[in-house]
Structure 1
Amino acid sequence: MGHHILPGNPPLALTLRRSPRARRISLRVSRLDGRVTLTMPHGVREGEALDFARTKEDWLRAQLDARPQSVDVTMGATIPVEGRLLRIVPGTGRRILRDGDEIAVPGPGAAAPARLRAWLKGLARDRLATASDRHATALGRPYARLTLRDTRSRWGSCSSGGGLMYSWRLIMAAPEVLDYVAAHEVAHLAEMNHSPAFWAVVAHLCPDYQTPRRWLRDHGTGLHRYRFDV
């Protein structure tokens, strides 16, 4: 693993990687963090790979420009909650409240990001537990436990011991998207694979699963652009 900078405005940082399985030189732009990886098969000179990257510079810059910009979750910012965009405003009292197109967060503005993250995680746990319980009952397969994480590589998982794990950021997506992910993971309680039998179980639990599945594939990465560590 090495690194190289392509000059320009701005300069482009490349991560160079050799792969015994690679058949050709390839470039990849991470949808999560914008990292550019240049993969080389064994036997290909580094200079040859860098020449290839230079021929793709316009494409690289277009890919990076198209990435969604990060959003700092602070007063005045807008965030999605259950698929609806809400503006963060100062609140009174002790609880975070939704009111129309606003979400009111009491207390010091500096504490708002951490308070909102905790509130969203609590709401996510409630919604995901309800959906998981419903699907597990329909399937006749109980699960062992439910945990939440801030995972970037997957929206959920199911262990061989019946443990369900979900990304709490699903609470920012529309309810049907969260419900699909719950159905997907509960279906693994019966089929620990992605065979036709597995997808038949998903279709039984969530008949219109293709629509939310497509939304996650096309737009799900955007849920990671909301930064609560400000």
Structure 2
Amino acid sequence: MTSQSELFRTPGPSLPDGARLRTVATVHGLITFTLARSRRRSIGFVIGSEGLRVTAPYWVSLKQIDEAVLEKAEWIQKKLDFWRQRNETADQAQQSWLACTQLPYLGATISIDIDVDARQARFDGDHFAPQLQDTLWLALPANASAEQRRAAAAHWLQTQAQQYFDQRIHALANNAGLRFQAWRLSRARARWGSCNSSGSIRLNWRLIHFTPDIIDYVIAHELAHLKQMNHSARFWQQVGIILPGYEAAMQKLKTTDMSTLPALQA
């Protein structure tokens, strides 16, 4: 059985100042967590891809912290199990992506192969309605390295993103009676999109990995900023006008970690 320490990256040297690792024995097994102190008034729990992080007030004793962990042990273990399974799935997918034999494209997992006689990449499915196991044929030599495959695949994906996003942003803007100054792809590592006060929109090209509903949500989100440069109730009302029923896609995107996307060079 894989241990928790193998599945969640041990913070080690990257621990914040004053933080420490601590382990508590529960009926559900050992729970290891990062403990940090702060001026907050109560004990807080955050569980993510790196495991459990507990933040406690300076005046709370270690015994009280351990008791709080024990009290929530069942809930904590369920969350840890969820992230453990998610990490394992992501690791398996990342191996395929690193070898560039499969990639997610518009929500479908497509296969990647090489056509040594081709002059340019070709896709054997519907470009904007891909199906499981459709194949992207890269114009590369038979002995192309994984790095070359990743670079070629990234180039093709960015080309598709440019075309698909352009169709969707104009369609959604026209339907809502909105006008934007310009738009372009971005390679941001921590943002899916942005809109500045002059009406210029940027969309992360990595969105092309996701299903169309998620892409539409991000576009609608940025278009809404043309009316409201904030995240007020009026802003979300505007998002709903542009894309009714956006909430499901928003929730799906919230559970997505950029670090789990294909390790492509771009």
TM-score bracket, shorter-length normalisation: 0.7 to 0.9
CA contact 1:3–1:15 (8 Å) conserved in 2: yes
Give the equivalent residue in structure 1 for 2:8: none
**102-111 or 41-50: bigger deviation:** 41-50
Q: State whether structure 2 residue 127 is matched by structure 1 residue 103.
A: no
Aligned length: 223
SS in structure 2 opposite 1:29?
strand
| Pairwise CA RMSD | 3.2
Work out which of the residue numbers 191, 194, 215 in structure 2 matches 1:178. Answer: 215
Which digits, 9 at most, give the CA deviation of each residue in 1:153-200, with x for residues without a partner?
Answer: x42222333332322221011223212211111111111223343233
Instruction: Classify 1:80/1:128 alpha carbon distance in 2 versus 1 (closer, same or farther; 3 Å).
Output: same
User: 1:13 deviation in Å?
Assistant: 6.6
Kindly report which structure 2 residues correspond to 1:148-187, keeping only aligned pairs within 5 A, or say none. Answer: 148-152=186-190, 154-187=191-224
Instruction: Classify 1:119/1:76 alpha carbon distance in 2 versus 1 (closer, same or farther; 3 Å).
Output: closer
Which digits, 9 at most, give the CA deviation of each residue in 1:45-89, with x for residues without a partner?
Answer: 356435645773744641432324231314563322112211122
Instruction: Classify 1:59/1:204 alpha carbon distance in 2 versus 1 (closer, same or farther; 3 Å).
Output: closer
Instruction: Classify 1:52/1:178 alpha carbon distance in 2 versus 1 (closer, same or farther; 3 Å).
Output: same
TM-score, normalised with respect to structure 2 = 0.68
TM-score, normalised with respect to structure 1 = 0.77
Give the equivalent residue in structure 2 for 1:81: 105
Q: Where in structure 2 are there 5+ consecutive unaligned residues? A: 1-15, 126-133
Greater relative contact order (Cα < 8 A, sep 6+): 1
SS in structure 2 opposite 1:216?
helix
CA contact 1:149–1:165 (8 Å) conserved in 2: no
Which digits, 9 at most, give the CA deviation of each residue in 1:108-148, with x for residues without a partner?
Answer: 13211122223222322332233223334443332344341
Give the equivalent residue in structure 1 for 2:90: 69
CA contact 2:36–2:55 (8 Å) conserved in 1: yes
Give the equivalent residue in structure 2 for 1:227: 263
Q: Where in structure 1 are there 5+ consecutive unaligned residues? A: none
Hey, what's the Cα distance between the residues in 2 that align with 1:80 and 1:26? Answer: 35
Give the equivalent residue in structure 2 for 1:120: 157
Hey, what's the Cα distance between the residues in 2 that align with 1:61 and 1:210? Answer: 26
